[in-house]
Structure 1
Amino acid sequence: MNEKQAIIAKMLELQHLFEKQPDGTSRKIVLKIKPQFSSQVQR
């Protein structure tokens, strides 16, 4: 697994943790993270 994949995996883990949080801050973080993933995953 290369470095980029390892980072993406870590970010996805964080994203799942944040999605479980009901507060608005976590949602904003998830919204910021998600678009970066979809662009990286499709390459």
Structure 2
Amino acid sequence: MITASPDEGRQLAIKMACLVIEPTQPDEAVRNTLRDVC
């Protein structure tokens, strides 16, 4: 991926990782306790 800045690329990568986690752990409460970033 090409982004305007390294920080923008990092934020995009975090957002994509959070989207991938949802199907793996569908319970939002569990996701929130296990992962403080997403």
TM-score by length of 2: 0.60
- Could you tell me which runs of 5 or more consecutive residues in structure 1 were left unpaired when the two chains were aligned: 35-43
Task: Provide TM-score, normalisation by structure 1.
Answer: 0.55
State the percentage of identical aligned residues: 7
**Count of paired positions:** 30
Runs of 4+ in structure 1 displaced over 6 angstroms? none
- The residue aligned with 1:19 is 22
Larger Rg: 2
| CA displacement, residues 2-43 of structure 1 (integer Å, 9 cap, x when unaligned) | 11110000000000001121274xx122xx113xxxxxxxxx
Bigger helix share: 1
